[in-house]
Each structure stands twice: as structure tokens, then as C-alpha cells.
Amino acid sequence: MSNTPEPKLISGNANMPLAKAIARRMSLHRGVNVDLVDARVERFNDSEVFVEVFENVRGEDMFIIQSTSNPANDNLMELLIMADALRRSSAQRVTAVLPYFGYARQDRRTKARTPITAKLVANMLVGTGIERILTMDLHAAQIQGFFDIPVDNLYASPVFALDIKNEFKGRMDELLIISPDVGGVARARELAKRLNAPLAIVDKRREKAGEVSEMTVIGDVKGKTCLIIDDICDTAGTLCKAAEVLLENGAKEVHAYISHGVMSGPAVERVTNSVMKSLVITDTIAPTDAIKQAPNIRIVPTAPIFAQAILNIWNGTSVSSLFEQDTLGPIYDGMYGDNF
């Protein structure tokens, strides 16, 4: 048992259902009731964020659960102000749990006179006194180096592997993992290795941001059940186009597994009307009613892996052990039973 105080959770407004689910899972894992710390995170009339913590947190090991998803700026400010409130209340340690790390797509200068906003956000988080970051599927792994504090980057692929083995039981030999671009090959290859499945790539060329002018399939997809693997689905235009190209090249059917369902603008409508059989996303971003009602969108929970990761950080034990099927499988036993 750790010498540190009991882990305590607090959440902003970004994804309260996930925060409550993490607390429930921690209660199950520990056999001790874990509740979110009583607090209010509100707005003044001019939209200023105000935070008040109603419980004593002096000397406590605090975990702030807050995705910096839409509205990204509001949720980021909530996180920063909550961290400041906890530090000023003499919390022993503050860990930021960001299921979805917003601004991660701005991780480098792509043109002259553009910012590296991911680094800016990292500086802001560290500047508030946050001592550790726990997140999932950073858009680029090198973002971990933007922080001068420990960063635990969980991966959705082990959870996706469990889901795929359950959903495609008896059809594993016909699966083909697809990377939607060259930059995502490492992520797709890692999942392909877990499933012992082959890999192909959809190479896309953009004339300008948000518009794909041409797509080319690298690899043989004929007769295969294709699983597109990516970390973010925003407007879903590229994803739906990739599914069409794969079918045009002889694929049997197309599914997609995406870590973070940003799903902005026409995304849900596009996915619903697309040729994809299914889109599987996690709940790192709170799903809208439209997402929940979409017939071909399914949500995989992340509360089990985040709850165990928080406990491992608190206990001082390995977080990377959660990447292994033997460790992760039992955590999701209630969902997938003996299929892992």
C-alpha cells in the first residue's frame, strides 16, 4: 500500500459521465467507495470561470479529470483554474487526467509564422503546479517531450484489440488493418501486431487544410474486412472518403476504430450516410445525443483503464503494464468475458 494519502478525484464540466464512471470503477477495484470531490465549476455573467472546492484537500493526492474538448478554451481554463485552486488549498500532488488532450494537432510549425500551441498548453499546465499528466493517444508521441513533468500516455489500441476479437470472432483471418495516412502507420501497425493481421495504407494528398484531393490505396484490400485505425475523427470527411476508396478497390466491408470522437459539424450525418458498416469511438470526449442515436456508431468505455491507471500512479506501480492483454483483459472482463 502506498504511503501517500487516498487518491481523490475532481472533475470539471467537460466529461462528467466519464469522471463518474472512473470513480465507480475505482470503487469496484478497491472495494472502497470513491466519490468525486464536492466542488462547483461555474461561470460569471461575462463567462469567467469560477471554481470552489467544498472539501478539505490539504495533503491529498488529487486527480483532475478534464478533457480539453469542445469548447476547448473553456475546458482548458476550467482545468487550469481547478489546478490553481487545489495548489492554493495545499494539495500534496495534482495530476491532470486528460482523456483527450486538445490542441495536440498543433504540435509543430507547418508554415511560417504559425504557433506550436501544444507546447504552449504544456507550459500552461506545468505553470499551474500540475505534477503529472495522464492522457490517452496523444496525436503525436513527441508531445510528451513538451512537458518537464512525467506524462503517462495510455493507448486505445489494447482496448480496441479486445473489442475487435469480440466483434469479429471467427472472422479474424479476413481482417486488414488500415492506416488512413502515412503518419498514422505506427499506430495502425501496433494494433495489427496485436491482432496478427496484415497492414495497408491509404495515402492522401491535400490541396489545402480540410480538403483531400486524391487518395491511393497501398496494399491489396480485395475481399478483406478493412478496419481503419486513427486517433481523431473531426468532420469525418476524410474517413468516409477513405471507406469509399477501399470499397472501390475491392474491400469486402469497412469499419473504423477511432480513439477520440471529436465529431464536429456534419460528422455524425456523414458517418450515418457513409458506406462504413460501423464507427467505434471511445468516450474520452462526451458523446452527444446525435452520436448516441447514430445506428452505426458504437462507443467503447475507457473508465476501466483510466481507473486502473490512476490507482497504479497512486500506488507507484507500472502504468505501462496496462498495455498488456493479460493485465488489461481482466479489467474489461465484464464486457468481453472469455473473448480476450
Burial class (CB in 10 A: 0-12, 13-18, 19+), 234: middle
Distance from C-alpha of 284 to C-alpha of 19, rounded to nearest angstrom: 10
Q: Of the residues 20, 119, 204, 277, which is catalytic?
A: 204
Distance linking the first and last C-alpha atoms of the chain = 29
Q: Which residues pair with 49 in a beta bridge?
A: 43
Cell of 53: 472546492
Distance from C-alpha of 329 to C-alpha of 179, rounded to nearest angstrom: 25
Angle at 149 between CA 148 and CA 153, to 5 degrees: 115
Q: How many CB atoms are located within 10 Å of the residue 89 CB?
A: 15
Distance from C-alpha of 301 to C-alpha of 159, rounded to nearest angstrom: 9
What is the DSSP secondary structure assignment for residue 174, as one 8-state letter? Answer: G
The dihedral region occupied by 129, where left means phi > 0, alpha psi between -120 and 50, and beta the remainder, is left
Cell of 306: 483510466
215 CB-side CA count, 13 A: 21
| Inter-helix orientation angle 185-195/157-167, to 10° | 50
The answer to whether residue 204 is catalytic is: yes
Q: What percentage of the chain's residues is helix, strand, coil (to nearest 5)? A: 40, 25, 35
Sequence-ordered list of residues with C-beta below 8 angstroms from that of 40, at least 6 positions apart, any chain:
50, 51, 52, 54
Instruction: Give the catalytic positions in this structure.
Output: 204
